């Protein structure tokens, strides 16, 4: 192991520990803030106030890249094909239509706003699929700037958190059907943790159903990364063939884990432990992203990506709600 990563990894672990500690405070519990959100905010505050020494950089990047990829792989233990069958074809159709149309709209508007293509793609996949995990998978192919990655995650975190609070209120005001709400929540809110919070705020059954819908949506990472890889081959004038397709290994490992979890009966205590470890690793990855978050660099990007994020987030929310009524 490269010893240069040790200081940064320790810094990330400390931020992760503090994130879990802060989450246990009653006011944070009331706000339903996940450790992922707390870690990236806390890391960002440290980076942009007291600052982070250069000796931490290697370890911080290790957390925000390598650890995040491991966390995405372990995310597969939360999903099986049996769960997908349980939510039924209706939810799958809604996910496909909502996510695909949101990606297309975001890319179209990104061109109209004259935004960098790579930043637009990061926003599109993050909003349409699963937030930070989708951004990491996408960035492994398109290799965007760190500021673009951080900005995208920041926008998605803020907007997804707003949705997380508003959705249960809408449910109560309009006395929504529980199944419809579950599908709407899972098909439109950005992060898995945000879907969990918005779902369980209504009831235990709704929370479980919404989470399954969301995890099914996570699988959308696979075809999207495949398409992006093919597009990358075309831009570089490489022969278009599956041999030239470079889907990130961690995305393939994620699919393998989903398959294993679908055909092998993993003991519940082991499965719970793996899911818990995944939560720690995902929080550590968010701590790394926060500690690498340079607000001054983000300011240079301007407000257009935020406007795009707002429009796209509202679109996926409305289209998935509409489809939930139609399908």
Cα–Cα distance list, 289 to 15, 66, 87, 208 (Å): 11, 12, 33, 29
Task: Evaluate if pTM is beyond 0.85.
Answer: no
How many whole angstroms separate alpha carbon 61 and alpha carbon 193? 23
Residue 301 has pLDDT above 70, yes or no: no
**Band of the pLDDT at 177, cuts 50, 70, 90?**
very high
How many whole angstroms separate alpha carbon 267 and alpha carbon 270? 5
The reported pLDDT for the residue numbered 183 is 95
How many whole angstroms separate alpha carbon 304 and alpha carbon 111? 11
State both tokens at 142: 């398109």
Three-state DSSP class for residue 148: helix
Residue 9 has pLDDT above 90, yes or no: yes
Residue 303 has pLDDT above 90, yes or no: no
With 0-12 / 13-18 / 19 or more C-beta atoms within 10 angstroms meaning exposed / middle / buried, residue 235 is: exposed
Q: For 57-111, what is each residue's pLDDT tens digit?
A: 999 989 988 888 888 788 888 888 888 888 889 899 999 999 999 999 999 999 9
State both tokens at 317: 């929310």
319 within 8 A of 98, measured Cβ to Cβ:
yes
Which has the higher per-residue pLDDT, 224 or 102? 102
Domain extent, residue 164, equals: 3-326
Q: For 123-159, what is each residue's pLDDT tens digit?
A: 999 999 988 888 888 888 888 887 788 889 888 878 8
78 within 8 A of 275, measured Cβ to Cβ:
yes
The reported pLDDT for the residue numbered 120 is 95
| Total residues found in the chain within this entry | 327
Domain count, the chain: 1
């Amino acid at each position: 192991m490269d010893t240069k990563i040790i200081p940064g990894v320790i810094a990330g672990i400390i931020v992760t520990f503090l994130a879990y500690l802060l989450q246990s405070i009653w006011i944070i519990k009331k706000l339903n803030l996940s450790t992922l959100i707390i870690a990236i905010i806390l890391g960002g505050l440290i980076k942009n106030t007291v600052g982070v020494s250069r000796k931490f950089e290697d370890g911080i990047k290790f957390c925000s890249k390598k650890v995040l990829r491991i966390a995405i792989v372990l995310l597969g233990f939360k999903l099986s094909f049996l769960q997908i069958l349980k939510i039924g074809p209706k939810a799958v159709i809604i996910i496909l239509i909502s996510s695909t149309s949101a990606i297309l709209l975001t890319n179209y508007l990104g061109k109209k706003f004259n935004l960098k293509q790579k930043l637009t793609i990061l926003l599109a996949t993050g909003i349409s699929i699963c937030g930070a995990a989708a951004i990491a998978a996408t960035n492994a192919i398109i290799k965007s700037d760190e500021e673009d990655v951080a900005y995208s995650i920041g926008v998605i975190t803020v907007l997804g958190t707003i949705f997380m609070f508003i959705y249960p209120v809408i449910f109560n005001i309009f006395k929504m059907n529980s199944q419809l709400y579950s599908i709407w929540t899972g098909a439109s809110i950005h992060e898995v943790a945000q879907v969990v919070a918005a779902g369980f705020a209504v009831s235990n059954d709704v929370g479980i159903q919404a989470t399954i819908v969301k995890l099914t949506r996570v699988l959308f990472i696979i075809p999207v990364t495949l398409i992006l890889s093919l597009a990358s081959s075309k831009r570089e004038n490489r022969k278009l063939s599956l041999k030239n397709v470079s889907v990130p290994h961690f995305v393939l490992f994620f699919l393998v884990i989903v398959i294993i979890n679908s055909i092998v009966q993993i003991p519940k205590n082991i499965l719970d432990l793996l899911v818990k470890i995944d939560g720690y690793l995902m929080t550590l990855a968010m701590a790394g992203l926060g500690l690498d978050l340079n607000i001054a660099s983000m300011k240079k990007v301007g407000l257009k990506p935020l406007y795009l994020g707002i429009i796209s987030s509202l679109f996926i929310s409305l289209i998935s709600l509409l489809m939930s009524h139609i399908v």
